Amino acid sequence: MSIRVNNIAMNIEEDMSTLKNKVSKKLKISIEDIKEFKILKESIDARKKDNIKFNYAVEVICDNEEKIVKRSNDKDVKLEDAVIEEFKLGNKKMKHRPIIVGMGPAGMFAGLLMAQKGYRPLIIERGEKVEDRTETVNRFWSTGELNLESNVQFGEGGAGTFSDGKLTTRIKDNRCDFVLEEFVNSGAPSEIIYSGKPHIGTDILKNVVKNIRQRIIDLGGEIRFNSRFEDIVIKDNYIKSVVVNGEEIPCDNLILAIGHSSRDTYEMLYKRGVFMAPKAFAIGVRVEHSQNMINTNQYGKYANHPRLKAADYRLSYTTQATGRAVYSFCMCPGGEVVAAASEEGMLVTNGMSYYDRDKDNANAAIVVTVGEDDFEGNTPLKGMEFQRYYEKLAYTVGGGGYKAPIQLVGDFLEDRTTTRLGAIKPTYNPGYEFKDLKECLPRYVTQSLKEGLINFDRKIKGFATSDAVLTGIETRTSAPVKITRNENLQSINVKGLYPSGEGAGFAGGIISAAVDGIKSAESIMKEYCPLD
C-alpha cells in the first residue's frame, strides 16, 4: 500500500530538492517520516509563457498511511493498493514452440514475455541485427544503395529504431508500465518511467534493442536474422507450418508482427486467404523549421532554459475545402528528415532524433487523411497500392537515386517551384531536388496541406514562414490494411495465427505495438503451458 500525491507544482527555477519538502507539507508529515519516495509522472505546464511550471505526481510509502490520507482531506492525496494483474498459464501442451515473425516492438515484447515465462519462442526477422542494420542504413543514406531486406523499415527494432524513440501513447493499459520498465532494465534512461513525454532517441534505442535481444536468448529464446517469412501453410483453417528461407518449419501458434511496410508479406497472406480489409491512413510531407523558433513559440522567455528540452508540438485541423483532417505526426525536435524507402524506385521519408535532440531543425510529418474512397481497385490491398503509386511518383519527380523533392512553404502556398533555399537547410540525405510537390501528391492532399499550414501558423507563429522546408513524401503513417481478428486475438479464419502490432492494423507507435504484442503472447500462454 502507498500514498499517491497528485498536482505538486514547482516553478521552473525551483530546485528539485524542494519537491520532497512540498510533498511532506501537503501530507502534514516530516520528511523523515517518508520511507520511500518515487516520482510517478512529470509534465510541463507552459500555458503561461511567463510562468512555466512543472507538475508532479509522486508515490510515498510511510507508516500510518490510511490515517495520513484521511487527515489530509485533499482530493490530490489518495491511498493506492499495488494491483498486480496475473493470469493463469494454460495446461494444454504445445506440439511445437511458438513462432514470432518480426523483431519490432510487438514481436520483441511478445518474445521477451514468452521467454520470461518459459515458452522459448523462435523469432524470425528478415532484416539484420541492429548493429549491422545501422551500417546498412547509413550506407543507404550516404550512397543511395538500398538493401531490400534490411533498411529503415525492416530489421531488429522495427521502423521505430530509426525514428525518435517516442514512447508516448494514448492507450490506458498497465502493460505500458511493463514495457517502460523493461526498456529501463535494458539500458533506457530511468526518466522514461515518469516523463510526460518519454523518448529514448535512436542512438540509445539501438543499444536497448540489442540488450533485449540478448535477454531473450539468455532465457531460452532463439532469434534468426536475415530470415525471410516466405509462406504459410494452412490446412482446414489451422496454421500448420511456415516457410522461412526455403525451410518449412512446423508451427501451431504464430504471432504475426510484420510491421506496416511488409508489402510482399501482405500479398502472400492475401493469396493464402487470410482475411484482411483496407484501412484508412494519412499521407503528406515532412516540414522543417528552426528548432529555436519552435522553442521560442512554446516556451517564450524560457526558451532554451536548462531545465527544458527541445520543444515539440501537436497540431490538427479539419479543412473547410475538403473536410479532411490535417495533422502533425511523429514530431522530431532537434532532429533530421531521413530516407525510409523499402522498395526499389519508391521514395518515402521519415523523421529521426537522437536522445539529446540537439540538431538545428525541428521536423514533423504534416499529413492528410485518406481512405477507401480514395483508393482504386477492389482488393484489401488497394490502400497499399495507393501508397506505392505516389511513392513511385515521388521517386521519379525527385530525379531518381532516392533524392527527395523539396519546396519552401512560401513557394508551396503560391504554387511556385523553389529556386533557392532560405534560412532553413534541409537535412534529408541522399540529396534533394527543387520541385513542385503537387506533382507527386493528390490535389486534395495539397489543397488540404495549404489550408492546414495557414491554420497552424495561427497556433505557432512562423509555422508557415516562407523559408520552412517541405520534403516529399510521407506515406507510412500506419498500416494500409487491417488483418481482422477475433476476441482471442486470432485471425478470424486461420486458427493459431495472431496478427499483432502496427502491421496488423492494431497499434500506432512503439508502446501500443509492444502492448499489442504482449496481449497476443498472453492469449497463447493462457491456453498452453510452458515448454518442458
Q: Give mean pLDDT, residues 315-319.
A: 98
CB-count exposure of residue 158 (10 Å: 0-12, 13-18, 19+)? buried
Q: What is the pTM of this model?
A: 0.95
**145 neighbors 429 (Cβ within 8 angstroms):** no
Q: Give mean pLDDT, residues 154-176.
A: 91
Question: Residue 85: is its pLDDT beyond 80?
Answer: no
Looking up cell 524506385 gives: 345
Q: What is the per-residue pLDDT for 357?
A: 96
Q: Give mean pLDDT, residues 195-199.
A: 92
pLDDT band at 361 (very low <50, low <70, confident <90, very high): very high
Which class does domain 99-277+481-525 fall in?
alpha beta
Q: Give mean pLDDT, residues 140-156.
A: 97
Give, for 248, the enclosing helix (H) or strand (E): strand 247-250
Domain residue spans in the chain? 2-80, 99-277+481-525, 280-474
**79 neighbors 71 (Cβ within 8 angstroms):** no
pLDDT in tens, 289-300: 999 999 999 999
Q: Give mean pLDDT, residues 36-46.
A: 95
Q: What is the per-residue pLDDT for 86?
A: 79
- Give the angle subtended at the CA of 388 by the CAs of 342 and 284, to the nearest 5°: 95
pLDDT band at 172 (very low <50, low <70, confident <90, very high): confident
Residue of 39 and 86 predicted with greater confidence: 39
In this structure, what C-alpha cell is assigned to residue 168? 508516448
In this structure, what C-alpha cell is assigned to residue 107? 514481436
Q: What is the per-residue pLDDT for 463?
A: 98
Q: Which residues pair with 222 in a beta bridge?
A: 122
CA nearest 157: which of 165, 167, 146, 148?
165
Q: Give mean pLDDT, residues 306-331.
A: 95
pLDDT in tens, 447-459: 999 999 999 999 9
Q: Give mean pLDDT, residues 307-320.
A: 96
Q: Average pLDDT over the chain, rounded to whole? A: 96
* 2-80 to CATH, choices 3.40.190.10, 3.30.70.260, 3.30.413.10, 3.30.70.2700: 3.30.70.2700
Q: How far is the C-alpha of 164 from the C-alpha of 286, rounded, in Å?
A: 14
Q: How far is the C-alpha of 307 from the C-alpha of 13, rounded, in Å?
A: 8
Q: What is the per-residue pLDDT for 532?
A: 77
Q: What is the per-residue pLDDT for 1?
A: 84
Q: How far is the C-alpha of 331 from the C-alpha of 337, rounded, in Å?
A: 11
Q: What is the per-residue pLDDT for 82?
A: 67
Question: What are the angstrom distances between the C-alpha of 326 and each of 50, 267, 296, 321, 323?
Answer: 30, 30, 24, 12, 9
pLDDT in tens, 380-423: 999 999 999 999 999 999 999 999 999 999 999 999 999 999 99
Q: Give mean pLDDT, residues 181-198.
A: 95
Q: What is the per-residue pLDDT for 83?
A: 65
Q: How far is the C-alpha of 99 from the C-alpha of 125, rounded, in Å?
A: 11
pLDDT in tens, 418-441: 999 999 999 999 999 999 999 999
Q: What is the DSSP letter of 190?
A: G
Give, for 53, the enclosing helix (H) or strand (E): strand 53-61
Residue of 81 and 311 predicted with greater confidence: 311
**504 neighbors 256 (Cβ within 8 angstroms):** yes
Q: What is the per-residue pLDDT for 383?
A: 98
Q: What is the per-residue pLDDT for 115?
A: 98
Q: What is the CA radius of gyration of the chain?
A: 24
Percent of the chain with pLDDT over 70: 99
Q: Give mean pLDDT, residues 9-37.
A: 94
Question: Residue 283: is its pLDDT beyond 80?
Answer: yes
Percent of the chain with pLDDT over 90: 95
Give, for 106, the enclosing helix (H) or strand (E): helix 105-116
Q: What is the per-residue pLDDT for 309?
A: 93
Question: Residue 84: is its pLDDT beyond 80?
Answer: no
Q: Give mean pLDDT, residues 165-186.
A: 92
pLDDT band at 165 (very low <50, low <70, confident <90, very high): confident
Query: Within 8-92, where are the H helices?
Result: 19-27, 65-72
CA nearest 206: which of 134, 139, 136, 278?
134
